[in-house]
Amino acid sequence: MIKAIALDDEPPALDILQSFCEKINTIDLQKTFTKSEDAFKYLKKYPVDLLFLDINMPAISGIDFYKKLPHKTMVIFTTAYSEYAVEGFTLSATDYLLKPISLARFEQAVEKAYTQWKTQNQNPEQQYLFIRADYSLIKILLSDILFIEGLDDYLKIHIQNQKTIVARMTLKAILEKLPEIDFVRVHRSFIVSISKIEKVRNKMIHINNEEIPISASYETTFFALLNKQ
């Protein structure tokens, strides 16, 4: 079950979140807070899996609060102002809920968080893909993937200490099968494993003696994700 807290300066908004959480058996809303300093003290002592976080608060914005967190935590932003959505997703938020929040939309956001949580809590040795290549289905451990290169309708999957696998598949299709927390697209032709990055210099990612470019359209999301590691 997902452990969660909620922070919102308006108590009625917290009451709604509390009532919604009570209707969903995959989430345990442990506490609610109206003051950011109280929530921050709690999180330093008791890390949780998920944070429901209002963006427009008087003392500190939810976005600035999230950037200060000492632990890596999933976040679902809540706000009455749609203009904050882009910045929220730049921070790799799990979801963004616009007030007033419906139960159906809330359930959808929590389901996304639950899927992400299950992926993060699987045994890494059990995380794998079956890829069709060389007239076979080949099992590939996600922990062995260095990066993936897209060539039109083909992929080259570069694997640690193994032969590169060439498969007829698109980058978009394989990205949907990969856990968001571990893999990120950095270029129209490249997906990289975050854990395999050795260094980033001059907008080039270095992995296993290979240099992978970061394109302008993926740069903001990529660096925001690195800052949350």
60 in the same domain as 39: yes
The pLDDT-based confidence of 134 (bands split at 50, 70, 90) is confident
Strand pairing report for 183-187 and 27-33: unpaired
Give the CATH number for residue 9. Answer: 3.40.50.2300
* Confidence class for position 3, pLDDT limits 50, 70, 90: very high
Among the candidates 66, 85, 120, a domain finishes at 120
Domain count, the chain: 2
Q: Report pLDDT for 128.
A: 86
Q: How far is CA 147 from CA 42, 134, 164, 175, 204, in A?
A: 38, 20, 10, 11, 13
Last residue of a domain, one of 120, 137, 167: 120
From 17-21, 118-122, 220-224, the region with the lowest mean pLDDT = 118-122
Range of the domain at 15: 2-120
Q: Are residues 159 and 221 in the same domain?
A: yes
Confirm whether pTM is higher than 0.85: no
Query: What is the C-alpha separation between 76 and 33, in angstroms, rounded?
Result: 15
Does an H or E element contain 216, and which? helix 216-227
Of 62, 92, 120, the one marking the end of a domain is 120
Residue 43, class by beta-carbon neighbours within 10 Å (0-12 exposed, 13-18 middle, 19+ buried)?
buried
**Same domain assignment for residues 136 and 222:** yes
Quick one: 99 and 194 in the same domain? no
| Measured distance CA(54)–CA(69) in Å, rounded | 15
